[in-house]
Amino acid sequence: MTGDPYKKKTIRISTIIIEVYYMFFFKSKFFAKVKKGSWAVVTGASDGIGKEFAIQLSQKGYNIVLISRTTEKMEEVSKTIKEKEPSRETLIISADLSEKESIEKIASKINDLEIEIFVNNAGQSNEFPLLFHELDEKTRKNIMNINAVNFVELTKLMIEKMMEKKNGLILTMGSLSAIHGAPLLGLYAGTKSFVLNFTNSLAYEYKDSGIKFHCFKPSFIATNMTKMRASFTVPSAQKFVRTALNRIGSPQIDINPVPIHRVIEIFSNFFVHFFMNYVAQIGRKLRRRAIEKQQLLDKSKQD
């Protein structure tokens, strides 16, 4: 049985209408009343997306805990926050999230703070596309520890703090690559798929706890990590974060807040084989260029 074609058509149209509404017309009311003294914790806060989350959440009324490896950069972010919002407090925690000891350090530093928001933004990928067996052990461990192992431990820490007040918001950074994978970035894509499914699972586990969850799954964003310029298909970190925060409180758990990225996601769902081959082709080209560049650098050093 094929079912009622008119019913299927109605469902499709309704889905499109709902999608368009949340993409272009939904306005978050989550930040309408921010309790004085509330803190937001942001990992990977020294640059790019994390930096923008820290700045924009401070503008919405939150004190900010900045977590990253680079103290100097976090001090600059803290300075920017206080210039824009003089009444805000900041706490800088220098921590390498590839190391287990960092979790204990963070736990002790935030013990007395009232944490309302946790942005689990820190992430690690290959420096450039490579075949999986070409990744060295250090890179493999860093990707796994930052994107998965310590990601889990930090999430547990924040949930325990939020359960005390039965209130909180946890935002995670997935990726468009989490849906079907990314050839030559396979380990990174695998960890992002974990992040996406883990976040979805927790959202239902803690549905009645007062803790909300969202996972963002963008494509490329213009940051120092991607080394890409802002364009129609590659939004700036500032624009991405502004759009993402405006979707907080919607019934959707996993969100692609950038319209063009959502279009790419839908296209990839219909043409998976074509999409994966295309990504693999680009990855191979970038790998070849990077290897050739490295060979030239090595040769120049020898000369």
Give mean pLDDT, residues 202-217. 96
Terminal CA-CA length for the chain: 73
Of 208, 195, 205, 200, residue with least CA distance to 167: 208
Q: What residues does each domain of the chain span?
A: 35-302
pLDDT digits (tens, 9 = 90+) for 33-74: 888 899 999 999 999 999 999 999 999 999 999 999 999 999
192 is catalytic: yes
In which band, very low, low, confident or very high, does the pLDDT at 96 lie, cut at 50, 70 and 90? Answer: very high
CA distances from 75 to 11, 66, 155, 250 (A): 51, 9, 25, 33
Q: Which of 188, 206, 212, 217 is catalytic?
A: 188
Three-class SS state of 250: coil
Q: Is the pTM of this model over 0.85?
A: yes
Q: State residue 1's pLDDT score.
A: 45
The average confidence (pLDDT) of the chain is: 92
For residues 178 and 200, the answer to whether their CB atoms sit within 8 Å is: no
Enter the CATH code of domain 35-302.
Answer: 3.40.50.720
> Tens digits of per-residue pLDDT, 121-176?
999 999 899 999 999 999 999 999 999 999 999 999 999 999 999 999 999 999 99
**DSSP class of residue 35?**
P
Tell me what pLDDT residue 133 has. Answer: 97
User: Of the residues 51, 161, 192, 217, which is catalytic?
Assistant: 192
Q: Which phi and psi (to 5°) does residue 94 adopt?
A: -85, 115
Measuring CA to CA, which residue among 105, 68, 60 is closest to residue 85?
Answer: 60
